[in-house]
Structure 1
Amino acid sequence: MTASPFLAPRWLRNRHAQSLLASSPMRSARGRVRLQQAAATHQPMVLEVGSGVRLHGIASLPAAQPPRAMALLLHGWEGSAESSYMRLTAAQLLHAGLAVFRLNFRDHGNSHHLNEGVFHSNRLDEVLAAAGTVAKLWPDLPLVAAGYSLGGNFALRLALRAPAAGLPLQRVAAVCPLLDPAGAMDQMEAGPAFYLRYFERKWRQSLARKRALFPQVHTFGNDVLQLPMRALTAWMVHNNTDFADLEAYFNGYCIAGDRLQALQLPAHVLMAEDDPVIPLAQFHRIATLPMVSVELAHHGGHCGFIEGASLDGYAERWVAQTLLAALA
């Protein structure tokens, strides 16, 4: 594990300030401006990834020169391809000469209408298939990937599965990735209530939208939508997955301990000591694994790493530098 050079200004060293500013309307506006300033074309696409599943994404290609590689970007839970950190990272990568594909997970962004079944975090196969489709659409470009929070979890699991799936993935970068879902649930329940309330509100809105689009399939009542996070997750597992219970579901996408031991390609992780959502303890273990490198910052909150009043962030520059290193 290495110490990060990122150091927030004194007025920005509060973990909650970092975390909340990261998803603020001001930073969203910054993301729009930065992406508009990048000389690139942007093409929304719907990928057919097998078994009738369709996933939405946005392909961005630099306009000034042929791209050096294709970077697949994965957002966090209840984020989207248009989240501020996705736009800011895409802008950094485009300026560096990379093409970017920002993938929406099922039921994220404006993609609820594309599939009947609801999103859950063990739907790795369809994300793997989407990555394979992206690789086939741009076969001459080296493929790299990065993700934030739950997207970081997916990126690391993609790296685990890539060799056996024939996915030509060369390197992944993960910012504050979710390693232990059960531990993260415990930490959110024990921490300030506004984090749990934020995710509950966003997820309830997503489920309500799904019900409105497919009322013949999703017949749950408003009483379900009022369940707290743990109970709502248990309901989702029971009604929308093949897992026996919540523990088995969490275990299905847990990558803590030695689960990344089998990685065959480099995985780079950026984490903050003061992350209020993701427990830090497991990162000390994965930092000892042969293909994993962990950069640890004293401050940064959850996917924040904001450097000052401009609201630009260290994390998006770190992602760009990390993925570019794969092309050296």
Structure 2
Amino acid sequence: MLTKPSHPQALNRQRLELTDGDFIDLDWQRRPDHNAPLLLLVHGLEGSADSHYMRRLLSDAENQSLAAVAMHQRSCSGEPNRLTRSYHSGASDDLMAVITELKRQYPESPLWVVGYSLGGNQLVKYLGEQREYARVERAVVVSAPLDLAACARRMERGFSRVYQTHLIGRLQQKTRDKLDQLPLTEQELSRLKTFYQFDDRVTAPLNGFSGAEDYYQQASGKAFLAHIAVPTLLLHAVDDPFMTEAVIPAPDELSPSVELELCPNGGHVGFIEGGWPWSPRYYLERRILGYLAAT
């Protein structure tokens, strides 16, 4: 069994109050000195600062004395969010709120942002929307579901259904806690077995979309890649079990600022390059930090 790398020091939590009355929790590992760079990490679906990929990068950042902070999506910090709205793949407004706060606190620190999976799709959408006004110096996007409709269909096939069942169960539980605020019964909620069904009945209506198709069309990051003005590394594995070829952008869909690195192997937020099964050596963190520090 793989063990999670331990944090070199305790994370300090900051609560960011949002204008809609909700909140986002930020876990600080180290704050920047003077105008030193600041690394922001954005996790994926049902992740947190405690997710294995987040902990690995936080650990490596600490080893390099790099200031780092982990953003929790709404309801993912161990405490339910206040509103019926939660988080979703297109919630670039939440990422904007976090970036605005970080630049307010540390206006002279270059901001580096790494987004994983769902958080990576949010990051692509944010960068494409904001273009040269993104206030981000460099970015890395890992295993992002840039075509949400294609990914939802892929999750209904093969072994991916095991992950779908697990994640839908967690999302259902969070929704169950708010059923008194929703036009949905317990029985109806329990019958939602796929991402498409859940997104159509829960994610979409709670976040202002007319249905799953509307949500997927508006929130998918792929269409935003051509507008990114920030140096951005798009890291993806061909064998990602959550994705299809539809996720992989063609060269003419990328802005000159985006570098696509397509690895034949790597899975979903994996990218192991060697070591033993119980002590793997990861390519991912080395590549992320190397790209961000490049001039």
TM-score w.r.t. the length of structure 1 is: 0.80
Deviates more, 1:264-273 or 1:305-314: 305-314
Counterpart of 2:185 in structure 1: which amino acid? G
* Unmatched 5+ stretches in structure 1: 1-25
Q: The residue matched to 2:156 in structure 1 has which SS?
A: helix
Amino acid at match of 1:220: L
Mapping of residues 154-193 of structure 1, within 5 Å: 154-163=122-131, 166-192=133-159, 193=161
CA shift for structure 1 position 44: 0.5
1:146-175 CA distance string (max 9 Å, x none): 0111111112122223346x4421111011
- Matched-pair contact (CA < 8 Å) for 2:21–2:82: no
How far has the Cα of 1:120 moved from its partner?
A: 2.6
Unaligned runs of 5+ in 2: none
Instruction: Please state whether the residue corresponding to 2:127 is helix, strand or coil.
Output: helix
User: Is 1:224 aligned to residue 188 of structure 2?
Assistant: yes
Question: 2:31 and 2:104 mapped to 1: Cα distance?
Answer: 19
Could you tell me whether the CA contact under 8 Å between 2:204 and 2:215 is conserved in 1?
no
Return the structure number with greater relative CO, CA threshold 8 A, min gap 6: 1
**Aligned ranges for residues 235-314 of structure 1 at < 5 Å?**
235-237=201-203, 239-256=205-222, 258-286=223-251, 289=254, 290-306=256-272, 307-309=274-276, 310-314=279-283
Structure 1 residues 14-33: Cα deviation after superposition (integer angstroms, max 9, x where no partner)? xxxxxxxxxxxx44x332x2
For these two proteins, the number of residue pairs brought into alignment is 288
Normalised TM-score (structure 2): 0.88
Which residue is equivalent to 1:18? none
| 1:66–1:97 Cα contact (<8 Å) kept | no
Residue correspondence of structure 1 range 29-44 to structure 2 within 5 A: 29-31=3-5, 33=6, 35-36=7-8, 42-44=11-13
Say if 1:162 and 1:169, in contact at 8 Å, map to a contact too. Answer: no
Kept after mapping to 2: 8 A contact 1:135/1:167: no
| Whole-angstrom distance in 2 between the partners of 1:78 and 1:206 | 10
Equivalent residue for 2:114? Answer: 146
Are the counterparts in 2 of residues 71 and 101 from structure 1 also a CA contact under 8 Å?
yes
Q: 1:189 to 1:66 in 2, by over 3 A?
A: same
Partner of 1:125: 93
Residue number in structure 2 paired with 1:207: 175
Whether contact under 8 Å (2:142, 2:236) holds in the other structure is yes
CA contact (8 A) 1:276 1:302 kept: yes
Alignment partner, residue 21 of structure 2: 52
Q: Indicate if the aligned counterparts of 2:125 and 2:224 stay in contact, CA closer than 8 A.
A: no
- 1:67-106 to structure 2, matched below 5 A, reads 68-106=36-74
Write the letter of the residue equivalent to 2:236: M
- CA displacement, residues 299-328 of structure 1 (integer Å, 9 cap, x when unaligned): 111111123331342112221111112xx3
